[in-house]
């Protein structure tokens, strides 16, 4: 089979970058609780959801509260809101140890790679109790790929990302050169071959990468880090680092304020966005949305966020997502005890410089990372607390966003003979109805919601590739039949 395709355009632009909308804000969203945890599944959710090609979702929980012998599980979320546990982590922590999601221990998240399998990290646990990388197959088989031992990192965070070379990349928050103010970038193959790519060192400034990676300009990977000096409230706040297709790491740009523990969001024209922390201390408001343009050494303040929601300070430490409507969305809660910790959703329009709050206080608490836009256009939010049973829930927000059509980023290879396996990389490959090559239907397999494989059939002719779902069709590049 051919090497997996990476999600980057041949022209060096940002994959799937969306046009900024100039539309007015959508109507106040319709909120709906899709699932309440604490019934048969007495555990708090601790990771973002990922959507599968059939429309279902996958997520993870932290330790159950019912005295069970496990410390959380991987679960399947059906469209009707039912949750089906698929795999329970043993209570001895040999695979994953229970760590409740909070600002100091960001939860891991799952991803589905081009081989169709699922990969994730555990903040703690593994052979040495310092975290682990694992694989989980569609058939339910769990494999521990790597246990961190300190010298190669401590406490992996965020989701893994599949790189140009077909390997998975991730970060650890600590370890390497310094157990407290260090951190690493690592690479692991789908077979489990592990390599430390970069060792952060507080003595040279950068330390504690505290979130996962994202694709950016030219198909490079980008992450965010904080400086050691922020722990005594002095010095520079941090910046982004870049990993090119050869695995080289550079530190091209800096933020004006300290970024939160989130992967950066790549917007139109390759601009990298981050929500920053408050200027002086958590809880005083004065947050900003900052953007780093491609090639720029410093960030620009794009938006000054509202300081208050009602009479309460608000901090948006939930991560952002860029909707297909071109708007940015983030979760936030009140930063002070006054009196009920309002929980709100923030909507940001970069074109009009507008922001808007939506009160979600009656629906849950402690949102985990960023909203996920599903193939139905709704935003899916995982709350690790609150809800009917106090153990969190899964919430949908309907802003009236149209179900997104599939998007093709690239194909690999771009030419070949009959029988060649071609990989299509893109997004929203959910419920794929057909794949055609120059108008001829081809046999295909949807490996993940971002990967499709098809076989060049007998009689095929050169032409455009089209992927069709109920939401629309996407036309990719031309494939040449040799």
pLDDT tens, residue by residue, 240-291: 888 887 778 888 888 877 777 788 888 867 888 888 876 544 445 567 888 8
Higher pLDDT, 47 or 230: 47
Per-residue pLDDT, 104: 39
Q: What is the pTM for the complete model shown?
A: 0.88
92 is written with which tokens?
Answer: 């001895």
In 10 A of CB 469, how many CB atoms? 20
Q: What is the mean pLDDT of residues 283-307?
A: 78
At 477, is the pLDDT very low, low, confident or very high (cuts 50, 70, 90)?
Answer: confident
Least confident among 217-231, 351-365, 405-419: 217-231
Whether 203 shows a pLDDT value over 50: the answer reads yes
Q: Which CATH architecture has domain 407-481?
A: Sandwich (2.60)
At 384, is the pLDDT very low, low, confident or very high (cuts 50, 70, 90)?
Answer: confident
At 50, is the pLDDT very low, low, confident or very high (cuts 50, 70, 90)?
Answer: very high
Q: How far apart are CA 334 and CA 307, in angstroms?
A: 10
At 49, is the pLDDT very low, low, confident or very high (cuts 50, 70, 90)?
Answer: very high
**Average model confidence (pLDDT) across the chain:** 81
At 207, is the pLDDT very low, low, confident or very high (cuts 50, 70, 90)?
Answer: confident
Q: What is the mean pLDDT of residues 27-41?
A: 85
> pLDDT tens, 149-198?
999 999 998 889 988 788 999 999 889 998 888 899 999 999 999 999 98
Per-residue pLDDT, 5: 39
Q: What is the mean pLDDT of residues 66-86?
A: 85
At 107, is the pLDDT very low, low, confident or very high (cuts 50, 70, 90)?
Answer: low
At 22, is the pLDDT very low, low, confident or very high (cuts 50, 70, 90)?
Answer: very low
Per-residue pLDDT, 362: 80
Q: What is the mean pLDDT of residues 194-207?
A: 81
Q: Which CATH architecture has domain 30-398?
A: 7 Propeller (2.130)
At 205, is the pLDDT very low, low, confident or very high (cuts 50, 70, 90)?
Answer: low
Q: What is the mean pLDDT of residues 214-238?
A: 67
Per-residue pLDDT, 275: 84
Q: How far apart are CA 15 and CA 17, in angstroms?
A: 5
424 Cβ neighbours under 8 A, 6+ residues apart: 5, 408, 410, 411, 435, 451, 452, 453, 454, 465, 467, 476
Domain locations in the chain as residue ranges: 30-398, 407-481
Per-residue pLDDT, 46: 84
38 is written with which tokens?
Answer: 């604490």
Q: What percent of the chain clears pLDDT 70, i.e. is strictly above it?
A: 81
> pLDDT tens, 319-375?
889 999 989 998 876 655 444 455 778 888 888 888 887 878 788 887 887 899 999
Least confident among 230-234, 358-362, 472-476: 230-234
Higher pLDDT, 104 or 469: 469
293 Cβ neighbours under 8 A, 6+ residues apart: 269, 270, 271, 300
């Amino acid at each position: 089979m051919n090497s997996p395709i990476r999600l980057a355009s041949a022209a060096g632009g940002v994959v799937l970058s969306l046009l900024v909308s100039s539309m007015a804000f959508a109507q106040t969203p319709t909120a709906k609780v899709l699932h309440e945890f604490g019934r048969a599944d007495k555990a708090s959710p601790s990771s973002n959801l990922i959507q599968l090609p059939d429309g279902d979702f996958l997520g993870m929980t932290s330790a159950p509260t019912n005295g069970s012998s496990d410390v959380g599980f991987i679960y399947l979320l059906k469209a009707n809101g039912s949750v089906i546990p698929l795999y329970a982590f043993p209570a001895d922590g040999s695979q994953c140890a229970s760590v409740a999601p909070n600002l100091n221990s960001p939860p891991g998240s799952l991803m589905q790679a081009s081989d169709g399998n699922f990969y994730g990290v555990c903040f703690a646990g593994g052979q040495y109790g310092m975290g682990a990388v694992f694989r989980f197959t569609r058939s339910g088989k769990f494999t521990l790929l790597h246990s961190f031992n300190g010298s190669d990192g401590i406490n992996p965070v965020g989701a893994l990302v599949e790189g140009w070379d077909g390997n998975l990349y991730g970060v650890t928050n600590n370890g390497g050169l310094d157990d407290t103010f260090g951190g690493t970038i690592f690479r692991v193959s789908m077979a489990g071959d592990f390599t430390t790519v970069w060792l952060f060192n507080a003595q040279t400034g950068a330390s504690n990468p505290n979130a996962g990676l994202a694709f950016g300009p030219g198909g490079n990977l980008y992450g965010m880090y904080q400086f050691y000096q922020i722990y005594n409230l002095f010095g520079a706040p941090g910046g982004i680092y870049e990993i090119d297709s050869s695995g080289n790491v550079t530190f091209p740009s800096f933020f004006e304020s300290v970024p939160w523990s989130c992967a950066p969001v790549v917007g139109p024209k390759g601009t990298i966005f981050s929500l920053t922390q408050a200027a002086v201390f958590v809880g005083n408001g004065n947050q900003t949305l900052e953007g780093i343009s491609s090639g720029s050494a410093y960030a620009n303040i794009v938006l000054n966020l509202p300081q208050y929601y009602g009479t309460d300070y608000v901090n948006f430490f939930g991560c952002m997502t860029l909707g297909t409507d071109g708007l940015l969305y983030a979760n936030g809660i009140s930063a002070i005890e006054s009196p009920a910790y309002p929980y709100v959703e923030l909507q940001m329009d970069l074109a009009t410089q507008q922001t808007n709050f939506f009160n979600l206080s009656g629906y849950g608490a402690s949102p985990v990372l960023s909203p996920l836009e599903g193939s139905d256009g709704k935003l899916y939010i995982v709350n690790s607390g609150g809800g009917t049973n106090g153990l969190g829930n899964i919430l949908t927000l309907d802003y009236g966003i149209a179900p997104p059509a599939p998007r093709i980023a690239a194909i690999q290879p771009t030419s070949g003979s009959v029988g060649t396996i071609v990989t299509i990389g893109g997004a929203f490959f959910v419920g794929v109805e057909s794949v055609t090559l120059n108008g001829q239907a081809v046999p295909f397999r949807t490996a993940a919601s971002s990967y499709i494989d098809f076989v060049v059939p007998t009689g095929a002719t050169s032409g455009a590739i089209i992927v069709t779902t109920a939401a629309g069709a996407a036309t990719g590049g031309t494939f040449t039949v040799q």
